[in-house]
């Protein structure tokens, strides 16, 4: 019961996206209502046609004793039955053509208005999803695959669209058709209609029983499609690794299994889905057979019904089966949409980064220092990555983090960037807890050059100016010069207008890293985080960047992470980490004397014992 209520809530939450489009929705509803009325009116024309053809006259015609609707019978008597049979038939033919012309107009504008509403809703859902995605914490992206997220934007939103197009709007339009046809059938014979109202709910109940199981199978099929998207995304991003390890067959086999799982889940869904249409048709035929027999009894035995009224009722009753059939099919799409909607709301209900929830202090920069005070952090419960980290970064100081892999260096950088929050302890800027600052204003004062350089698929110029969209062309060029990128950029086919390809695939690793440095330099940050910022550079480029950093680092508080100790030897302070602990803090000359771990890392890096290095200097 609780799951059913959740499904219903999700469906009504989807309908809330209709709110900004209510006027357009009511326009669509008007055309649907008009189309349904004209559809019922066209069926009622069976009565005058049969009466004219069989010389029954206009007395006792359908609508004659129905108050406001009796004007239809009066119109027919005056302008149709007053003529000879051939002229009357010609007049009726013109009326039918006019009715179907109006049906054409209403159907056309109905479809246009529905498209405007449904595409507007789909656009709003995607925008809401993307907006929420932009403000989610880094932790979310570490636990949910990109393929799964993309599947929600494309596959799940498309299913929600079908739930509107072939679900909600079909229910409304076909529901109106069914109501008008039911009213027409009631006018023709209330006895036959009452019998139908007993039989039809039995058929509908059986169909609803099937639809209940469709929801579960639809959800499973969508999850399997998400697995396919995830696999494709990972393989495409790791295609060099796949080919480098000749794992093409392995990945193909993995994809074959996921494709088969989706195939099996979808076929299981279609087992039930395919049952709906023929079952509806069979039930319709069974009901129609009984109605035909009972109608004949009313005409020939009870003599309470005229033949033309019976044919109007029969046409209405048979026509009503089409809306019922489409209503069941609409239910299939709605079940798909509900299952897809639950995945969409899983994303929309994710909590955003705490710093975006409320406005805090505006960050004006570092005036004195940044302090890590007994900071603890873990990605998994019971497995801390940082264990009581404490150190201070004075304003304008270059602080380097060194240590073996897994020591917690990148985690410290992420905490400083506020990608995560300490689980115990705190980080302060001039004595103020970092969490008290407005997140947006804080991040506008920092720049990050990550170890895994990422470039967007646009031009070189667009990638650099991304850091500060209001920057001038000259400022972009200056940033590229400082990062030692200007020279190679000028040699590219279109210079700064060269498209770098997806993730910067058209450039080498060193070129990508220099563009990322230019982007950080253009930001003109108060706090600069360099995470292995020179790892992909050759010796010449590294030296150029080291000289550039000499020019730009003064006055900026800088955190440097590097395995290559040559890049941190001139740091004002070096923090040595191991196993999530701070082992020692000092300058290079101090640490080489007293810190065994630092000395060992230095010897491994330069392949020379410290004693020999010192003696060679003398």
In a domain, 13, yes or no: yes
Is residue 299 predicted with pLDDT exceeding 70?
Answer: yes
What pLDDT score does 340 carry?
Answer: 85
Q: Which residues, 6 or more positions from 103, have their beta carbon under 8 angstroms from its beta carbon?
A: 35, 38, 39, 42
Among residues 348, 377, 410, the one where a domain terminates is: 348
Taking 90 as the threshold, does the pLDDT of residue 101 lie above it? yes
Shared-domain flag, residues 577 and 601? yes
The pair phi, psi for residue 364, each rounded to 5°, is -105, -5
Provide DSSP, 320-365.
HHHHHHHHHHHHHHHHHHHHHHHHHHHHHTSPPPHHHHS--BPP--
Determine the Cα–Cα distance for residues 168 and 159; give it in Å rounded to an integer.
12
Q: Which span out of 187-191, 240-244, 565-569 was modeled with the highest average pLDDT?
A: 187-191
Rounded to an integer, the average pLDDT of 483-495 is 88
pLDDT at 298: 81
Report residue 612's pLDDT band, with 50, 70 and 90 as the boundaries: very low
Most confident range, picked from 58-72, 285-299, 304-318, 515-529? 515-529
333 and 398 fall within a common domain: no
Same domain, 319 and 373: no
Strand partners, 607: none
How many domains is the chain partitioned into structurally?
Answer: 2
Same domain, residue pair 249 and 380: no
Here the CATH number for the domain that contains residue 612 is 3.40.50.300
Question: 449 and 520 in contact (C-beta within 8 Å)?
Answer: yes
Grade residue 356 by pLDDT with cuts at 50, 70 and 90: low
Residue 299 and residue 351 in contact, taking contact as beta carbons nearer than 8 Å: no
**Would you state the structure tokens that stand for residue 138, as one six-digit string?**
């880094």
Report in angstroms the alpha-carbon separations of 352 from 134, 136, 146, 347: 9, 4, 18, 10
| 26 in a structural domain | yes
Output 456-462 pairs: Cβ under 8 A, ≥24 positions apart.
456/500, 457/499, 457/500, 457/501, 457/502, 457/503, 458/499, 458/500, 459/494, 459/496, 459/497, 459/498, 459/499, 459/500, 460/489, 460/492, 460/495, 460/496, 460/497, 460/498, 460/500, 460/515, 461/496, 461/497
In b/e form, how buried is each residue of 337-364, taking b as 16+ CB within 10 angstroms?
Answer: bbbbbbbbbebeeeebbebeeeebeebe
- Evaluate if residue 109 carries a pLDDT over 90: yes
Distances (CA, A) of 418 to 337, 369, 409, 425, 573: 37, 17, 14, 14, 22
Residue 255 lies in a domain: yes
Check whether residue 219 and residue 138 sit in a common domain. yes
Comparing 56-70, 424-438, 506-520, which segment has the lowest mean pLDDT?
A: 56-70
Question: Residue 204 in contact with residue 292, Cβ under 8 Å?
Answer: no
pLDDT digits (tens, 9 = 90+) for 538-584: 666 667 666 767 767 777 899 998 766 666 777 889 999 998 999 99
CB-neighbour burial class of residue 156 (10 A; exposed 0-12, middle 13-18, buried 19+) = buried
pLDDT > 70: percent of the chain: 87
Q: Is 415 inside a domain boundary?
A: yes
Give the position of tokens 């730009």.
552
440 vs 47, more confident: 440
Q: pLDDT tens, 447-464? A: 888 877 788 888 999 999
- Which of 326, 348, 370 is the last residue before a domain boundary? 348
CA distance 142 to 38: 56
Predicted confidence (pLDDT) at residue 195 exceeds the cutoff of 80 = no
Domain that holds residue 436: 360-445+563-618
Same domain (yes/no): 317, 239: yes
Residue 541 lies in a domain: no
Q: Which two tokens stand for residue 435?
A: 């969490």
Is residue 117 domain-shared with residue 238, that is, in the same domain?
yes
The mean of the pLDDT values for the chain is 82
Q: Is 88 found in the same domain as 28?
A: yes
Poorest-pLDDT segment among 202-216, 264-278, 314-328, 369-383: 202-216
CA–CA separation, 454 vs 513, rounded Å?
9
Structure confidence at residue 269 (pLDDT): 82
At residue 579, the 3 state secondary structure works out as: coil
Contact by Cβ (8 Å): 316, 188: yes
pLDDT at 511: 83
67: pLDDT confidence band, cut at 50, 70 and 90? low
**Residue 181: which CATH number?**
1.20.1560.10
Confidence tier at 5 by pLDDT (50, 70, 90):
low
The reply to whether 335 and 369 lie within a common domain is no
Tell me: do 408 and 282 sit in the same domain: no
Does one domain contain both 312 and 398? Answer: no
pLDDT tier at 127, thresholds 50, 70, 90: very high
Residue carrying structure tokens 């991304």: 466
User: Among 220, 16, 42, 51, which Cα is nearest to 124's?
Assistant: 16
Confidence of residue 607 (pLDDT cuts 50, 70, 90): low
At residue 617 the predicted structure's pLDDT band, cuts being 50, 70 and 90, is very low
Structure tokens at 429: 């800027």
Mean pLDDT confidence for 433-444: 88
Residues 112 and 258 in one domain: yes
For residue 343, the model assigns a pLDDT of 87
d(CA 482, CA 551): 8
> Which of the residue ranges 27-36, 50-59, 186-195, 213-222 has the most confident prediction, judged by mean pLDDT?
27-36
In Å, the largest CA–CA distance within the chain is 129
- For the entire predicted model, the pTM comes to 0.72
Per-residue pLDDT reduced to its tens digit, 305-328: 777 777 778 788 777 777 877 777
The last residue of one of the domains, among 303, 322, 348, is 348
């Amino acid at each position: 019961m609780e799951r059913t209520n959740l499904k219903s809530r999700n469906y009504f939450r989807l309908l809330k996206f209709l709110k900004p489009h209510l006027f357009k929705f009511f326009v669509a509803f008007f055309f649907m209502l008009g189309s349904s009325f004209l559809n019922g009116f066209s069926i009622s024309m069976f009565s005058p046609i049969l009466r004219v053809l069989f010389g029954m006259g206009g007395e006792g015609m359908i609508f004659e004793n129905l108050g406001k609707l009796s004007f239809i019978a009066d119109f027919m008597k005056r302008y149709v039955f007053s003529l000879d049979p051939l002229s009357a038939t010609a007049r009726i033919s013109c009326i039918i053509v006019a009715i179907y012309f109006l049906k054409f107009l209403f159907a056309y504008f109905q479809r246009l208005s529905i498209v405007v509403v449904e595409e507007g809703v789909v656009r709003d859902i995607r925008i809401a999803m993307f907006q929420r995605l932009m403000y989610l914490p880094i932790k979310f992206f570490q636990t949910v695959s990109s393929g799964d997220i993309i599947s929600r934007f494309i596959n799940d939103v498309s299913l929600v669209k079908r739930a509107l197009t072939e679900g909600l709007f079909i229910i409304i339009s076909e529901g109106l058709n069914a109501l008008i046809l039911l009213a027409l059938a009631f006018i023709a014979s209330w006895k036959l209609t009452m019998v139908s109202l007993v039989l039809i709910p039995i058929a509908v109940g059986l169909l609803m029983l099937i639809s209940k199981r469709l929801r579960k199978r639809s959800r499973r099929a969508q999850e399997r499609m998400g697995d396919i998207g995830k696999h494709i995304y990972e393989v495409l991003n790791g295609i060099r690794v796949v080919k480098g390890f000749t794992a093409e067959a392995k990945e193909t086999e993995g994809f074959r299994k996921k494709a088969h799982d989706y195939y099996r889940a979808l076929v299981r869904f279609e087992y039930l889905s395919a049952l709906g249409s023929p079952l509806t048709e069979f039930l319709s035929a069974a009901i129609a057979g009984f109605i035909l027999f009972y109608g004949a009894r009313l005409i020939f035995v009870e003599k309470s019904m005229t033949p033309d009224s019976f044919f109007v009722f029969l046409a209405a009753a048979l026509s009503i089966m089409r809306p019922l059939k489409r209503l069941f099919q609409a239910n299939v799409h709605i079940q798909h949409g509900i299952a897809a909607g639950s995945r969409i709301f899983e994303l929309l209900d994710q909590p955003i980064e705490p710093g975006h929830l409320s406005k805090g202090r505006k960050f004006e920069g570092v005036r004195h220092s940044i302090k890590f005070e007994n900071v603890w952090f873990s990605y998994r419960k019971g497995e801390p990555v940082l264990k009581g980290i404490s150190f201070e970064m004075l304003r304008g100081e270059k602080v380097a983090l060194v240590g073996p892999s897994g020591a917690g260096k990148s985690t410290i950088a992420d905490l400083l960037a506020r990608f995560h929050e300490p689980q115990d302890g705190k980080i302060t800027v001039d004595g103020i807890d970092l969490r008290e600052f407005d997140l947006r204003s804080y991040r506008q004062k920092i720049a990050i050059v990550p170890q895994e350089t990422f470039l967007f698929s646009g031009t070189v110029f667009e990638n650099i100016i991304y850091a500060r969209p209001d920057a001038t062309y000259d400022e972009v060029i200056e940033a590229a010069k400082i990062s030692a990128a200007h020279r190679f950029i000028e040699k590219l086919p279109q210079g700064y207008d060269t498209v770098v390809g997806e993730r910067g695939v058209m450039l080498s690793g060193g070129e990508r890293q220099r563009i990322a440095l230019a982007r950080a330099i253009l930001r003109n940050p108060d706090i600069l985080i360099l995470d292995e910022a020179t790892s992909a550079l050759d010796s010449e480029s590294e030296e150029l960047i080291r000289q550039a950093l000499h020019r730009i680092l003064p006055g900026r508080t800088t955190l440097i992470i590097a395995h290559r100790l040559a890049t941190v030897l001139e740091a004002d302070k070096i923090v040595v980490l191991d196993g999530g602990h701070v082992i020692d803090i000092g300058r290079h000359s101090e640490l080489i004397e007293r810190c065994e771990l630092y000395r060992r890392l230095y010897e491994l890096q330069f392949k020379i014992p410290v004693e020999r290095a010192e003696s060679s200097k003398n």
